Structure 1
Amino acid sequence: MKPPPFDYHRPRSLGEALDVLAGTGADGKVLAGGQSLIPLLNMRLAAPAHLVDINGLTELATVEEEPGGLRIGALARHARVERSARAAALQPLLGQALRLVAHPVIRNRGTVVGSLVHADPAAELPAVLALLGGSVRLARRGGTRDVPAAEFFTGPLESAAGPGELAVSAFFPALPPRSGTAFHEVARRHGDYALAGVAALVGLDDDLRVSTARVACVSVGPVPVAADVTGACGHRPPASADWAAAARAVQDRIEPETDIHATADYRRHLTGVLVERALRDAAGEALHA
């Protein structure tokens, strides 16, 4: 299939890109990795009048440490972040999630920020941002704004990025001391979107008791479902924490739907299993941190 006709723009600077987007408004669509956008165009599920290719803006291909975490630019590919030793040291959940994203050929081209803006509730990276309480920086002609994850994902394939805005970077907070993370999902085939998936973060206090336990779930709601389950686990050592109670608390919060791949009941059951598994593994990582 072929995409619908559009005007193609390839700006040579960020300022030029923002000028083009300001002029095209809601009729403009940004092309970075294109691993989600191009299929949508070819299937005629998206028909922007203007395509703004930002691949010439190499200043956006950054993976940089900032106070408190990691900032990833709009042109940083999945594969680069996955292989980054600095990213792994600051926030290992990124690497854990990226290994589950599609296939290597997709990760070589797709971008972290592009995945966030695409806002697919079945995707891994939106759940990571939601769990960590990160943010996305949006630029437009005349200024920028940072949107926290809790406000960025507004619905299935919908984000807070408005007409004329370009997501230039995302910020992922660093892993706190004595903490661990894990990401588990189940898909029909490796690389497919998950039937259900769970990212987990567990922190321990000085007595090695659970002080923080949070999860974010994919494929069980219109946006990533983040939940603090610290109270359900109990302030106990990981070996005796009530991970099953945490799983039940999450199952009560999610709103999965039935589709051709799985029933809502199966997705709810699967999410509970994955919550327990992810929390246990994250706690194990925290014990060795």
Structure 2
Amino acid sequence: MLLSVVAGVDGSAESLAAAEWAAREAVRKGRPLLLVHAWSRSPYSLVSVAANTAQRSEAERVLKAAADRLAGACPGLLIQTAQVEGPAITALSRLADGSELLALGRRTQRGLAGLPGGWVARGVISRVKRPVALVRAGEGQERSADVSRSRDVVLGIDLGHPCAEAIDFAFEEARLRRCGLRVVHAWCDPPPTAGEARAIGLFEADRPEEERSGLLTAVLKMRRDAYPDVPVIESVRRGKASSSLLRVAAGADLLVVGHRLGKQSHLGLHSSPTASAVMRHARCPVVVVPYS
């Protein structure tokens, strides 16, 4: 059974952009598309029947409008729709863990803890074990009529904790899009995680740029051998990781970063400053790939 690409739709410009991006992703991957609208039942018995009926009607309208729009843009794509009851974070997280990936709208205003505006996106990313794509309004449409050809995919790597899942995802995206892959590792001097890096023995904080370049090449070797048709540019930069990634991804088609599972609090997602910054400021869609 083919896993679906899932998009959360609430009628906003951001969610429609995410749905359009997800539709083209489903075409590339040969997967069906599932559009989902989540709503919660009214807790007040005197108004619950009318309120719930209105919510179901609105959900049906939003889903139909989105499905009709995407059917015209991606003829032949299998599009399914579903209403799910319950808190949006819980409902979408449950669907995401059984999907190929989940796409959500990305608001750009600053939220709590400097994360993208929107509790739903933050809460879902903190819970799910599948990739989550965040798409801003206007990013869902292809820059070219040919959806098989795109600009480069950018992958950010922390050599202290290289995320195999994110590396695999980025190489596969570059293959499907028939484009290049730019892999970026950046560090500050001294690096913020120097003590942790020494403890796990992957590299010394004072290693020169040449040694870091060699380590990056070694980390990518197996994937480069498995994807010989994907052009790869490796970049090792001294400086703030988020700034380096944002500069490289300014003209990219997609930015991929890893998120370590288990880092959360009562506020939701507890991602690294780098992941938080690129989710907030990147000018292209961002895919957050979880890892243990």
Using the size of structure 1 for normalisation, the TM-score is 0.32
TM-score, normalised relative to structure 2:
0.32
Give the structure, 1 or 2, with the largest relative contact order (CA under 8 Å, sep 6 or more): 2
Say which structure is richer in helix: 2
Which structure shows the higher strand fraction? 1
